[in-house]
Structure 1
Amino acid sequence: MDRTAPAAPDPSLVLADVRRALAEDLGTGDVTAALLPDVPERAYLLCKEDAVIAGRPWFDACHRALDPDVAIDWSIGEGERVAAGTVLALLRGRSRALVSAERTALNFLQTLSGTATTTAAHVDAVRGTGTVVLDTRKTLPGLRLAQKYAVRAGGGANHRIGLYDAVMLKENHIRVAGTVAEAIARARAAQPGLPLIVEVETLDQLREALASGCDRILLDDFAADDRREAVRIARTAPFRGRIPLEVSGGVGLDGLRAIAADGVDFVSIGALTKHVRAIDLSMKLGPPPA
């Protein structure tokens, strides 16, 4: 089943990523491409394994930065599943620009498709449970917003973007404040307009966070029995499910379905963006094979 394409990324973000990457690769100029005659040429983009494709805006921007007149005809949509052997796109442009942009464009598309494909596997594992798969801040440096876009392309959702758009209380904040309730009170006073997420390590801390009030509670490395008890406590009087629960810490694909079946609202998984395996893609000059 194909996925709904994510909202388009900010063009200025894409352009900044592409400019930085092309400068890194081209330096003072592509001395190898200069050996080619600069003539009109065709190329095709091939996917060599089953995947969920993400990163078309970055791929396109790489090629258009070197040849504004390049034509790129995609046969698949963003966030779409494809089978090994699928020709993803046909390109028509100047030969030198095509080969100069190739590696950088593929680096973006392979990496972001890898993130989307991994995310889709995790989303498939919890399908029908109501649990939402979240990413984390464990992203490749400089590619956070791009990878978080790829998570959405794979059917997941984004946790906080950085250290500025939500307050997240962890053990150090609670230790300094003395109690969960006091840490929450201080955070609300300091940043009343931001979402507040509280990480708890025990059922007693969970009860304190539920009673004090916040926007989400993160169960950090809870054993299965404690996790189920946490869901029961949060769903029954007097709390009645008003504060959603998130599970984090050591979550693997194999055990994900069981965690979701316990009734948690969210599961955050660093591996979506941290353990990236690039999808096998290639771009070749000439027409695609018959």
Structure 2
Amino acid sequence: MSSLAPLPAFLYEPIVRTALMEDFGQAGDVTSAAVIPADHVSELALISRQVGVLAGIEVAAMAFRLVDPVIAITPLLRDGEALAPGTVIARLSGPTRGLLGGERTALNFLGHLSGIASVTAAIVASVKGTRAAIVCTRKTTPGLRALEKYAVRAGGGANHRFGLDDAVLIKDNHVAAAGSVTEAIARAKAHVGHMVKIECEVDRLDQLDEALAAGVDAVLLDNMGPAQLAEAVRRIDGRALAEASGRVTPDTAPAIAASGVDLISVGWITHSAPVLDIGLDVLES
């Protein structure tokens, strides 16, 4: 996607550095140190072994650069571009010890993030032609939220809130503690500033009516079937954003989107996306 804004390096450099420290431990790469001469150099390539969408190329490059700044990395694709088996993503050259030392960390990030981008692209494609945008959730790997949400954008999705401080999202436990939907929304309005949006989760149409009467900005329609979602959209009638959630997959998303909701939030695109198979190989001439 040409409009995808890159992540600033300072957001992921500490994450990559921590991952390398975990892998190198106290003694470093003892295998490469024992087997490979210090002056040995190699020319390798990052190559996709599956169909998918690329995400995380600069994160992977950072892993190699932190291991050995002498390593040269030439990306041939940008994040958001399609991959096929055999697609060359980037060329690398430099000290072999450094290349092999950074390999696993780089591939861990690249495969994980490209996997998220790939499943996001699949579910986005499944609702093409509807008004529904696919958004992610806070169901992310601890410490990797910024990267995983970036990968969702690379796959054509959009981001829900990044954390608890972004917006008010009143869920069922908040409603139970406050006593009612109306009271929970009233308390939220009294507490936050005018720039903070308020969304309320509902799983029944009577709760929806209550939330709309209280002037909520968005409603999270949780675990409703397509017919109930369509009725909810009719009742909302443009007065609030309509978001659907609950066990969304590429198979169920089209019917959900057909109800007319504005957003479909999907947790599994970040917490359960399979890794995309990408390897670091000698490039055949």
Would you call these one fold, judging by a TM-score over 0.5? yes
Q: 1:114 deviation in Å?
A: 0.3
Residue identity in the other structure for 1:199: E
Aligned letter for 1:31? V
Map of 1:170 onto structure 2 = 171
1:205 corresponds to 2:207:
yes
1:269 aligns with 2:266: yes
**Deviation of residue 262 (structure 1)?**
1.0
Distance 1:5 1:58 in 2: 18
Determine the structure 1 residue equivalent to 2:280: 283
Aligned-pair Cα RMSD in Å: 1.2
Query: Which residue of the partner structure matches residue 104 of structure 1?
Result: 105
| Cα distance change on mapping 1:58 and 1:267 into 2, 3 Å | same
Letter in 2 for 1:116: A
Q: Kindly provide the CA deviation profile for residues 100-135 of structure 1, in whole angstroms up to 9, marking residues without a partner as x.
A: 000000000000000000000011011121210010
Cα deviations by residue, 1:6-38 (Å, 9 ceiling, x for unpaired): 211131121011011000100121101112112
Specify every segment of 5 or more residues in structure 2 that has no aligned partner in the other structure, as ranges. Answer: none
The answer on 1:32 being equivalent to 2:31 is yes
CA offset at residue 40 of structure 1?
2.7
Matched ranges for 1:181-200 at <5 A: 181-192=182-193, 193-200=195-202
CA contact (8 A) 1:131 1:263 kept: yes
- In structure 2, C-alpha distance between the alignment counterparts of 1:152 and 1:254, rounded to whole Å: 21
The letter of the residue matching 1:115 is I
Write the distance in 2 (CA, Å) between the matches of 1:5 and 1:52.
Answer: 15
Deviation at residue 201 of structure 1 after TM alignment: 1.3
Is the contact between residue 225 and residue 256 of structure 2 (CA under 8 Å) also seen in structure 1? no
Q: Deviations over 1:142-189 (max 9, x none)?
A: 211110000000000011111121111011211222221111010111
**SS of corresponding position for 2:251:** helix
Answer whether contact 1:66 1:97 (CA < 8 A) is retained: yes
Instruction: Give the C-alpha shift of residue 93 in structure 1.
Output: 1.2
Superposed displacement of residue 5, structure 1: 4.9
Once residues 229 and 218 of structure 1 are traced to their aligned partners in structure 2, the CA distance between those partners, rounded to angstroms, is 14
Find the partner of 2:220 among 207, 218, 221: 218
CA contact (8 A) 1:5 1:79 kept: no
Contact 1:167-1:197 at 8 Å conserved across structures:
yes
- Give, in whole Å, the separation in 1 of the partners of 2:270 and 2:190: 33
TM-score (norm 1): 0.94
Q: Partners in 2 of 1:85 and 1:95 — Cα distance?
A: 22
User: Please, which runs of 5 or more residues in structure 1 have no aligned partner?
Assistant: 236-240
Task: Judge conservation of contact 1:14–1:57 (CA < 8 Å) in 2.
Answer: no
SS in 1 for 2:93: strand
Matched, 1:149 2:147: no
Cα separation, 1, equivalents of 2:14 and 2:92: 23
Matched, 1:180 2:181: yes
Q: TM-score, normalised to structure 2's length? A: 0.95
Q: How many residues align?
A: 281
Report the CA distance between 1:4 and its aligned residue.
2.9
For 1:117-128, list aligned pairs within 5 A: 117-128=118-129
Runs of 4+ displaced beyond 3 Å: none
How many Å separate the matches in 2 of 1:122 and 1:57? 25
CA offsets per residue over residues 195-243 of structure 1, 9 Å max, x none?
21100111111111112112210001112221111011111xxxxx031
